[in-house]
Amino acid sequence: MCADLWSFALSTYARPGCEAACLRLQAQGADVCLLLCGAWLEQRSVASTPERMQALQRIAQPWQKEVVEPLRQVRVQWRAMAQQDAQLAALRERLKALELEAERQLLTRLEALAHTWPIGESEGQQGWLEGLATEAASLDPDALQLLRVMATST
């Protein structure tokens, strides 16, 4: 079991099929950082409560909206042009690294909040992913379950 959320997220995301599931959920409006945090909390058997979910969302939503999403939008916008322009491609790679660092900072913030929540208080509970998924992402239970399976084997 990975002790810190960043290591857990990297390990889980690298598993076969997980990246595709996460990108599907992200396309449906889900915050993948929140979902990875939820999977980490499930693995640690931390009890999910509406108050805890709201606390995580209060941290994640503004950071995603104001920091991560603008970086992602520019990176995606440059995709086609960067294929024809080596200098823009290099800038796009730097932007991609900055986006990843912004996600790392978000995961660090989420972990700091969850650090005080007792581990092992809720064996077998699996409510985090469904509670943190957006309504649209909840319509893709297969992707959520794949993320859960990948996280469990981390």
Instruction: Give CA 65 to chain center in angstroms.
Output: 14
pLDDT in tens, 7-35: 999 999 999 999 999 999 998 889 999 99
Query: By C-alpha distance, which of 109, 136, 124, 135 is closest to 55?
Result: 109
Domain ranges in the chain?
Answer: 5-152
- Identify the pLDDT of residue 53: 95
pTM of the model: 0.92
pLDDT in tens, 77-86: 999 999 999 9
- Identify the pLDDT of residue 107: 98
Decide: 41 and 119 in contact? Cβ < 8 Å: no
